[in-house]
Amino acid sequence: MKILVTGGAGFIGSHIIDKLVEKHEVIVLDNFDLQVHKAKPNYLNEKATYIEGDVRDRHVLSNVLEGCEAVFHEAAVVGVGQSMYQIHKYMDVNTLGTSQLLNILVNEEHDVKKLVVAASMSSYGEGAYKCGNCGIVFPFLRTEEQMKQKKWELICKCGKPLHSIPTKENKYQFANSVYALSKKNQEELCLMVGRTYGIPTTALRYFNVYGPRQSLSNPYTGIAAIFLSRLKNNNIPVVYEDGLQTRDFINVSDIADANIFSLNNPNTDYRVFNVGSGLPISIKSIGETLAAMLGKKIHPQVTETFRKGDVRHCYADITALTSLGWKPTISFETGMRELITWSGTQVADDKFEQATQELKEKGLVE
């Protein structure tokens, strides 16, 4: 089978390609964004064919789609905070780039029989919670007034404290950043067009992905890579709020496996799936774990400040995908050790302070 992977030179896409090339002919379209790549990465798989180009370029995209029977749409600009002041760029690349792909699939001859799109847990906003009085609830974001009072946990409308529970795919999506909205657009556009025109489509909502090849010099990437970059430069990882906010960390190899699983399983057609570990881990503990594994006596700095739009807790209910036969296989500790081993061969430019200053100038950090 001939397969196109957009954004295939990136962190997640490259791992998908490594698994695909053993059985398929793989074409990669990537623009090699300088914020992610200082130069063309040395991990590019020689068994794949790489085309440098942009998903917004209809001519280029139409050419690379020729003869392809499946598409993994991974191309996207990533960064929650940055998206709030580079609004046009994020919507242009993520939303309009996706619309360009779908426009070709609708209006030109093609052989595509499967589309897998990278969606995001960020589209949920806050995760799911349970109240002793009201049962399961889906709260909106905490108010700035509450955050300024350093009351970090969520309170139900009835006044009782809320307790986080796994988030299912049927939870209402309350996108709280331009990035989140653009990823929601990607997901909904692909599923809508796929259903209408009979192109089997699967949307995978990635939770917090970490692992080898994640840029250590991009301050808008995942928290594990940001903390690791700080520590490699003997700088203190900075933690917002009280550090006890939780996320679901999933290894990139498990993400790649979920993509391959979706390609080969028709039971995933026209559906949305969470792809996570199903386990909540505090942000503070990420910094502590990385420092301990690196043998550095550096403790995260808990600032008790906050970023506008941040959620408190969100972790995945992965029952829908595991019930079909997929499951994560790499433990958090094993994955973090793998990340650290890989980082030993990488240069990490710590640009956290620069990125934080930009967020402050845009009024996004209190």
Mean pLDDT score, 311-339: 97
Beta bridge partners of 238: 301
Answer yes or no: is pLDDT of 38 > 70. Answer: no
Q: Does domain 2-361 have CATH number 3.40.50.720?
A: yes
- DSSP β-ladder status, 128-131 and 163-165: antiparallel
| Confidence bin at 39 (pLDDT 50/70/90) | low
Angle at 326 between CA 95 and CA 317, to 5 degrees: 65
Cα–Cα distances in Å, from 259 out to 212, 273, 295?
17, 11, 35
- Note the pLDDT of residue 366: 82
Domain regions of the chain by residue span? 2-361
**Of 30-34, 165-169, 324-328, minimum mean pLDDT range:** 30-34
Task: Provide the annotated active-site residues.
Answer: 179
- Note the pLDDT of residue 266: 97
290: left (phi over 0), alpha (psi -120 to 50) or beta: alpha
- Note the pLDDT of residue 221: 81
State pLDDT tens for residues 276-298: 999 999 999 999 999 999 999 99
pTM: 0.96
Side-chain-facing half-sphere of 174: CA atoms under 13 Å: 16
3-state class of 75 per DSSP?
coil
Answer yes or no: is pLDDT of 20 > 80. Answer: yes
